[in-house]
């Protein structure tokens, strides 16, 4: 192996370590940091972002990339060089001062968003959102795009994706699922959702959340569970430190239970990336859509299945005998799979969830084409929610302020959620075919074979393949809405009869 390639790999690993330090500061801000620490934290994060950009975009990185030589048969080296060059060329187009300013503003914006959301006051957040849209527009223009600025932002999270293709996929999904949603909402046999709104003491929710994480094989020697305003998963130290958060509401059991299943799904992906390639592209997720496929698979395809609760429902009843002691497994299973138009994305059912993503996708595109002004976001949001989802938010807290993503500058992230649902359905269908009677394994609490299948077929590849190529490699077919439609139709016809 050429000496220059080794130097390139050393620099890449240093960049990964630097990014993990920033992740630790971000985690601390969400979980531990006192409110008055935000200004200093903004300066710290801006410094790290500037240094990271300097190392990635600078002339030294270009020299190492141009001079790195390796055997043509060394696929690992080729992947590391390819992905590092992609990031270098993208970063080199963006000025360092712009990167630092975005890091500083997003650190400040998170605190502004929290206050605006708590008080349901979009006007309080609007100036910051205007600033962030302006800054990210400058990023998109610097990077360049084929059709529209939003495409450059989506590419950050789903490399190679095209906005027009995403739009066609979402349209096909809406057309396929809409008749099923209509039939479900017309069904006379409705689940009793009040079951999940009884009193569930927080301390017992905390204990049960840990048990669910353990059931999914989350390694607490390499992770932890904390509380944050918006649940998330973050990687601090490669495969040895992957942390998740959730939130607890004493009158909403689903929030913590399914929140933890979702975030642990993300963590299992991170923990399954190859340790020997830590801090290199070969130990980085393929894309955010593939990442989301793992969380949605564990949360919904496993966690909302009847088989999963045949294994764990008795334990849940023991944890909350006052609330669930007289509730049958059938009634509980129906309640956690209730379909109804809802205001909050993270609590939406599987059928209407993708409509929430369409709302955000359309609004983000409009913000970056100039078709929508920031001041008009609440009105546009409410209109789209009423037209697409069937409910109109009564306030901004349950409307356009509910998600953290805009405050952290993550424009282009939302489409990966719906793509993740489709990837998950296609992967799960293939896993069922390969593993035989997977439902029986789930019923017994034997989730190890599924986790092994995911690690062998998805996790271990890191960024070796683009998302579209990985789906085709694993399933033998290109991404399609059909596996999700088959899964949803079978599931909800059985539940709603």
Is there a contact between 345 and 356 (Cβ–Cβ < 8 Å)? yes
CA-to-CA dists, residue 34 to 226, 296, 481, angstroms: 15, 32, 45
Closest C-alpha among 452, 455, 457 to residue 430: 457
- Per-residue pLDDT, 349: 93
**Stretches in the chain below the pLDDT threshold 70:** 1
Alpha helices in 216-249 (DSSP H): none
Mind telling me the catalytic residues? 263
233: which 2 tokens? Answer: 């998963």
- List b or e across 284-307, with b for residues whose CB sees 16 or more CB atoms inside 10 angstroms: bbbbbbbbbbbbbbbbbbbbbbbb
- How far is the C-alpha of 224 from the C-alpha of 219, rounded, in Å? 8
Q: Name the domain count of the chain.
A: 2
- Per-residue pLDDT, 239: 80
Unique residue bearing structure tokens 């998109």:
140
Sheet architecture: strand order including 242-246: 225-227, 242-246, 233-235
- 351: in domain: yes
445: left (phi over 0), alpha (psi -120 to 50) or beta: left
Name the domain boundary from 95, 110, 144.
144
Is there a contact between 396 and 121 (Cβ–Cβ < 8 Å)? yes
Given CA atoms 90, 96, 97, 100 in this order, what sign does their dihedral have? positive
CA-to-CA dists, residue 352 to 7, 157, 337, 338, 414, angstroms: 49, 23, 12, 11, 15
- 151: in domain: no
SS3 205: helix
With 0-12 / 13-18 / 19 or more C-beta atoms within 10 angstroms meaning exposed / middle / buried, residue 466 is middle
Unique residue bearing structure tokens 């424009």:
411
- How far is the C-alpha of 57 from the C-alpha of 87, rounded, in Å? 8
User: 26: domain range?
Assistant: 3-144
Query: 201 and 323: one domain?
Result: yes
- How far is the C-alpha of 202 from the C-alpha of 286, rounded, in Å? 36
Closest C-alpha among 327, 307, 301 to residue 316: 327
Query: 299 and 400: one domain?
Result: yes
Residue-by-residue DSSP string for 322-385: HHHTT--HHHHHHHHT-----S-GGG--HHHHHHHHHHHHHHHHHHHHTSS-GGGHHHHHHHHI
Cβ-Cβ contacts under 8 Å for 212 (sequence gap 6 or more): 257, 260, 261, 264, 303, 312
- 157: in domain: no
Cβ-Cβ contacts under 8 Å for 173 (sequence gap 6 or more): 354, 418, 422, 481, 484
- 381: in domain: yes
Q: Which residues pair with 243 in a beta bridge?
A: 234
Query: 404 and 468: one domain?
Result: yes
Query: 246 and 393: one domain?
Result: yes
Query: 191 and 263: one domain?
Result: yes
Name the domain boundary from 144, 175, 202.
144
Query: 190 and 72: one domain?
Result: no
Closest C-alpha among 193, 485, 197, 489 to residue 340: 193
- 154: in domain: no
Name the domain boundary from 109, 144, 179.
144
SS3 187: coil
Q: Which residues pair with 244 in a beta bridge?
A: 225, 233
CATH number at residue 361: 1.10.1370.30
- 453: in domain: yes
Is there a contact between 425 and 353 (Cβ–Cβ < 8 Å)? no
Query: 211 and 126: one domain?
Result: no
Query: 172 and 307: one domain?
Result: yes
Cβ-Cβ contacts under 8 Å for 185 (sequence gap 6 or more): 339, 340, 341
SS3 247: coil
33: left (phi over 0), alpha (psi -120 to 50) or beta: beta
- Per-residue pLDDT, 497: 84
SS3 20: helix
Given CA atoms 18, 19, 23, 25 in this order, what sign does their dihedral have? positive
Query: 117 and 226: one domain?
Result: no
SS3 242: strand
391: left (phi over 0), alpha (psi -120 to 50) or beta: beta
Query: 355 and 392: one domain?
Result: yes
- Per-residue pLDDT, 1: 56
SS3 80: helix
Query: 130 and 177: one domain?
Result: no
Query: 339 and 196: one domain?
Result: yes
Closest C-alpha among 359, 474, 372 to residue 405: 359
- 416: in domain: yes
- 310: in domain: yes
């Amino acid at each position: 192996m050429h000496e220059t390639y080794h130097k390139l790999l050393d620099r890449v690993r240093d960049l990964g370590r630097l990014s993990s330090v920033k992740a630790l500061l971000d985690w601390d801000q969400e979980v531990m940091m006192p409110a008055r620490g935000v200004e200093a934290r903004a300066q710290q994060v801006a410094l790290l972002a500037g240094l990271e950009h300097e190392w990635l975009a600078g002339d030294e990185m270009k020299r190492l990339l141009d001079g790195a030589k390796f055997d043509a048969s060394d696929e690992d080296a080729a992947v590391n060089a390819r992905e590092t060059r992609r990031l270098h060329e993208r970063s080199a187009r963006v000025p360092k001062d712009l990167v630092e300013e975005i890091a500083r503003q997003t650190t400040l914006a998170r605190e502004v968003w929290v206050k605006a959301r708590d008080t349901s006051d979009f006007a309080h957040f609007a100036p910051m959102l205007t600033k962030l849209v302006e800054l990210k527009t400058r990023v998109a223009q610097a990077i360049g795009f084929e059709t529209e600025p939003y495409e450059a932002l989506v590419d950050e999270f789903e490399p190679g994706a095209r906005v027009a293709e995403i739009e066609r996929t979402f349209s096909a999904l809406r057309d396929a699922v809409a008749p099923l949603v209509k039939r479900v909402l017309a069904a006379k046999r409705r689940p009793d959702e009040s079951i999940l709104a009884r009193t569930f003491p927080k301390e017992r929710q905390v204990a049960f959340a840990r048990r669910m994480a353990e059931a999914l094989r989350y390694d607490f020697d390499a992770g932890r569970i904390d509380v944050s305003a918006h649940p998330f998963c973050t990687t601090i130290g490669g495969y040895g430190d992957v942390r998740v958060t959730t939130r607890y509401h004493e009158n909403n059991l689903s929030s913590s239970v399914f929140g933890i299943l979702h975030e642990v799904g993300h963590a299992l992906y991170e923990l399954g990336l190859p340790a020997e390639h830590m801090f290199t592209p070969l130990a980085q997720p393929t894309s955010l859509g593939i990442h989301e496929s793992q969380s949605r698979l564990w949360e919904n395809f496993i966690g909302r299945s009847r088989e999963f609760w045949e294994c764990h429902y008795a334990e849940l009843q023991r944890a909350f005998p006052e609330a669930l002691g007289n509730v049958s497994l059938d009634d509980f299973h129906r309640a956690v799979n209730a379909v109804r138009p809802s205001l909050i994305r993270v609590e939406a059912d599987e059928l209407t969830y993708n409509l929430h993503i369409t709302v955000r996708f359309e609004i983000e595109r409009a913000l970056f084409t100039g078709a929508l002004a920031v001041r008009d976001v609440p009105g546009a949001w409410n209109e789209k929610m009423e037209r697409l989802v069937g409910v109109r938010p009564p306030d901004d807290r349950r409307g356009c302020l509910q998600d953290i993503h805009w405050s952290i500058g993550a424009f282009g992230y939302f489409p990966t959620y719906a793509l993740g649902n489709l990837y998950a359905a296609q992967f799960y269908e293939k896993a069922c075919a390969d593993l035989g009677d997977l439902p029986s394994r789930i019923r017994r609490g034997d989730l190890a074979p599924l986790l092994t299948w995911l690690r062998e077929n998805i996790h271990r590849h890191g960024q070796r393949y683009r998302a579209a190529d990985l789906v085709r490699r694993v399933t033998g077919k290109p991404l399609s809405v059909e596996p999700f439609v088959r899964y949803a139709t079978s599931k909800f016809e059985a539940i709603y009869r």
